């Protein structure tokens, strides 16, 4: 079930196996193995696949036939958050930032304010 639904969701998003692999920081071979049923993704990878493909993990696992996720119809600002967390690079940055000491977070806020002010002058 997972292999067929994963491939169908990928094709619906018009992604190649390589493009999906790039977004997930994995290899084309890994995606191919998932789609051919030779291996199964970890729980963490399953969640990442669902986010990128904009389907629920329940759909991928065959628990439900509803392809829609609770994130499908969101107000604009929540859509932006969904896009943010669907981007593996930004997601990794957020995870690293979340684990940083408060002093580093404060420094990052100060740097961000400088960048914003610089852009306002342009």
pLDDT value at residue 40: 94
The answer to whether residue 75 is domain-embedded is no
Q: Which of 21-25, 101-105, 109-113 has the highest mean pLDDT?
A: 21-25
Domain limits for position 48:
2-61
Domain for residue 17, yes or no? yes
What's the pLDDT tens digit per position in 31-71? 999 999 999 999 999 999 999 998 989 889 988 877 765 54
Asked if residue 46 and residue 10 are part of one domain, the reply reads yes
When pLDDT is averaged across residues 61-89 and rounded to a whole number, the result is: 67
My answer on whether 57 and 9 are in the same domain is yes
The 8 Å CB, 24+ separation contacts for 3-6 are 3/34, 3/35, 3/36, 3/37, 5/55, 5/59, 5/60, 5/62, 6/34, 6/35, 6/49, 6/53, 6/60
């Amino acid at each position: 079930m997972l292999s067929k639904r994963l491939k169908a969701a990928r094709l619906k998003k018009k992604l190649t196996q390589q493009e999906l692999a790039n977004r997930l920081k994995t290899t084309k071979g890994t995606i191919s193995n998932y789609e051919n049923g030779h291996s199964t993704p970890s729980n963490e990878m399953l969640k990442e696949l669902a986010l990128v493909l904009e389907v629920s993990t329940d759909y991928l696992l065959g628990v439900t036939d509803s392809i829609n996720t609770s994130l499908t119809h969101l107000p604009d600002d929540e859509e932006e958050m969904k896009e943010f967390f669907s981007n593996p690079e930004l997601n990794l940055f957020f995870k690293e930032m979340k684990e940083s000491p408060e002093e580093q977070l404060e420094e990052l806020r100060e740097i961000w304010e400088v960048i914003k002010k610089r852009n306002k002058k342009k």
